[in-house]
Amino acid sequence: MTIREFKMPDVGEGLTEAEILKWYVQPGDTVTDGQVVCEVETAKAAVELPIPFDGVVHALLFEEGTTVDVGQVIISVQTEGGEPAVETAEAPVQEAAPAVAPAVAEAEPAPAARQPVLVGYGVSTASTKRRPRKAPAPAVAAQNGTAAPVAAAAPAAPAPAAPVLPAVPAQPAGERPLAKPPVRKLAKDLGIDLALVVPTGDGGVVTREDVHAAAAAAITPQAAPAPAPVQAAVAPAPVQAPAAEVASARETRIPVKGVRKVTAQAMVASAFTAPHVTEFITLDVTRTMKLVQELKDDPDLAGLRINPLLLIAKAVLVAIRRNPDVNASWDEAAQEIVLKHYVNLGIAAATPRGLIVPNIKDAHAKTLGELSTGLSELVATAREGKTSPADMQNGTITITNVGVFGVDTGTPILNPGESAILAVGAIKLQPWVHKGKVKPRQVTTLALSFDHRLIDGELGSRFLADIAAVLEHPRRLITWA
């Protein structure tokens, strides 16, 4: 039998860590080469990881929700072979920085006859189990079946009048509380002593909810309880905060990680590196909206998603063709402007994990139908959280459609490395002077932010005006192409 190990790979370019979102296998499950075993979230996207060999899952070395450095072993698999040995899917095990499963860290010490195959881990014919909890101190029955720990040989005292809570095991004195590494870190960040937290998890494990409850109880003013008889050498058992007190906490702290973390870093870097200029234009898009409806009814485009964003994207591509110098990037190291002869058109997408900007590769070379398909696939993949890091790299210009939220316009921040970003506002029926008369027309506002190192005021203004001209008279999609 051979124990083979699979390390956390670099699923992007230069990423250093990833969070394990979900395990799809458990110890004892059979896996095959190429089978997806877990989903991880990097700073750029959620990615599914396939195992590169066949065998039976031996151990999962990290729990869900744990952030793991690239290169650390995350799963071990028993494979057919000769003498017991350890192999890795990528590189030899680094004994200086072993990866130990949280469950193993809480397990009983291995017998002396056990042959270790990893630092802090070994082979066993039986499944790894947590150490048994010490028997709780004798308890006296309370109303509704609850029980409260009491000191040995101490007389029972009547409980003060208070809401009755479900029975939970208290942490035995002098014993290290059971908790997963992320929970320990959360308790440390919140300044909570795990020994004073009432565990509600299976087997007396402290959960994240227990820590939050303890934190809420610490900051929520509570009425002083009635004095209780002193029990020699035994501290009173902590009481879990009621749900109402948890809900009344004045603050909630959310760890910044994954997509949200890298987005924040990118926006700060962009805002304080590229000198932003934003220009606005309000225009009549009634003809474009009529064309959208006509294209929806066109049998040649049956099955395709036709919407205003599609024609706006096409208008941007036409305007880039007329003003190619806007499609560039700034190379700080070489002190050069890099003109791009291709357009990777980014579309900002809001997802449950945060804002991402995947792009349609070589959008300039696509027909209207191909562009529609690209947009549909991009949006569907983003909503499912399956956008790959490659889909978010090497963008040139981005469109963000804030109008879907009913917003008229905004001043968008550039996606790092790109020259411009176009914000599209809500399209609304408004009074507009048309052919000398005030009429209700479909009107929207566009906002273009651009890097003033690459695009001066004249070029930026011409580019934005060309986009507006196409949307006001969409026949220019043909005449200007």
Please give the average per-residue pLDDT across 268-285, as a whole number: 92
pLDDT by residue (tens digit) across 51-78?
988 999 999 999 988 888 888 999 999 8
Q: Is the pLDDT of residue 456 over 60?
A: yes
Q: Is the pLDDT of residue 421 over 50?
A: yes
Contacts of 480 (CB under 8 A, 6+ apart): 318, 321, 322, 466, 470
CA proximity to 197, closest of 179, 214, 172: 214
Helices then strands (H, E): number in the chain? 10, 26
Burial track 243-278 (b if 16+ CB lie within 10 A, e otherwise): eebbeebeeeeeeeebbeebbeebeeebeeebebbb
pLDDT by residue (tens digit) across 187-196?
777 778 888 8
Position with higher pLDDT, 169 vs 344: 344
| DSSP H or E stretch at residue 356 | strand 354-356
pLDDT by residue (tens digit) across 210-259?
887 887 776 544 444 444 443 333 334 444 444 444 455 888 888 887 77
- Long-range contacts, 119-123 (Cβ 8 Å, 24+): 119/95, 121/59, 123/3, 123/84
Q: What is the CA radius of gyration of the chain?
A: 30
Burial track 185-208 (b if 16+ CB lie within 10 A, e otherwise): ebbeeeebebbebbbbbeebbbbe
CATH 4.10.320.10 boundaries in the chain: 176-220+239-248
Query: Backbone dihedral region of 297: left (phi > 0), alpha (psi from -120 to 50 degrees) or beta?
Result: alpha
CATH 2.40.50.100 boundaries in the chain: 2-122
| Residue 250: per-residue pLDDT | 86
- Please identify which residue in the block is written with the tokens 């005021």: 457
pLDDT by residue (tens digit) across 375-391?
999 988 888 878 887 88
Tell me how far apart the alpha carbons of residues 240 and 338 are, in angstroms, rounded to a whole number: 61
Confidence of residue 14 (pLDDT cuts 50, 70, 90): low
Percentage, residues of the chain above pLDDT 90: 41
Confidence of residue 129 (pLDDT cuts 50, 70, 90): very low
Q: Which amino acid is at 19?
A: E
Q: Is the pLDDT of residue 135 over 70?
A: no
Contact 35, 49 (CB under 8 A): no
> What's the predicted TM-score (pTM) here?
0.56
Pairing mode, strands 328-331 and 397-401: unpaired
CA proximity to 115, closest of 1, 231, 215, 281: 1
Distance of CA 139 to the CA centre of its chain: 45
pLDDT by residue (tens digit) across 422-448?
999 999 999 999 999 999 999 999 999
Tell me how far apart the alpha carbons of residues 26 and 113 are, in angstroms, rounded to a whole number: 27
CA proximity to 414, closest of 334, 357, 349: 357
Confidence of residue 173 (pLDDT cuts 50, 70, 90): low
Give φ, ψ of 414 to 5 degrees. -60, 140
Q: Is the pLDDT of residue 450 over 90?
A: yes
CA torsion 71→72→77→83, rounded to 10°? 80
Confidence of residue 86 (pLDDT cuts 50, 70, 90): low
Q: In the CATH scheme, what architecture does the domain 176-220+239-248 have?
A: Irregular (4.10)
| Residue 320: per-residue pLDDT | 97
Q: Which two tokens stand for residue 187?
A: 């308790």
Range of weakest confidence among 13-17, 49-53, 216-220, 294-298 = 216-220
Rounded to a whole number, what is the distance in angstroms from the first to the last CA of the chain?
65
| Residue 291: per-residue pLDDT | 96
Q: How far is CA 150 from CA 21, 140, 162, 231, 233, in A?
A: 41, 8, 18, 8, 11
Tell me how far apart the alpha carbons of residues 370 and 378 are, in angstroms, rounded to a whole number: 12
Catalytic residues: 452
CATH topology assigned to domain 2-122? OB fold (Dihydrolipoamide Acetyltransferase, E2P) (2.40.50)
Confidence of residue 209 (pLDDT cuts 50, 70, 90): confident
Bridge partners, residue 441, by sequence: 430
| Residue 34: per-residue pLDDT | 86
Please give the average per-residue pLDDT across 318-338, as a whole number: 94
| Residue 43: per-residue pLDDT | 66
Check residue 361 and report its DSSP letter. T
Range of weakest confidence among 59-73, 81-95, 145-159, 382-396 = 145-159
Please give the average per-residue pLDDT across 131-155, as a whole number: 41
Please give the average per-residue pLDDT across 40-49, as a whole number: 77
| Residue 161: per-residue pLDDT | 45
Tell me how far apart the alpha carbons of residues 150 and 139 are, in angstroms, rounded to a whole number: 6
- Helices 457-472 and 308-322: crossing angle in degrees, nearest 10, is 140
Give φ, ψ of 276 to 5 degrees. -80, 140
Please give the average per-residue pLDDT across 319-340, as a whole number: 94
Confidence of residue 474 (pLDDT cuts 50, 70, 90): very high
Please give the average per-residue pLDDT across 357-366, as a whole number: 94
Check residue 144 and report its DSSP letter. G
Q: Output the average pLDDT for the chain.
A: 77
pLDDT by residue (tens digit) across 303-314?
999 999 999 999
Determine the 3-state secondary structure of 335 from DSSP. coil
| Residue 154: per-residue pLDDT | 41
CATH 3.30.559.10 boundaries in the chain: 258-479
Domain covering 258-479 in this structure, CATH number: 3.30.559.10
Please give the average per-residue pLDDT across 165-182, as a whole number: 60
Contact 429, 413 (CB under 8 A): no
Task: State which of 33-37, 79-83, 144-148 shows the largest mean pLDDT.
Answer: 33-37
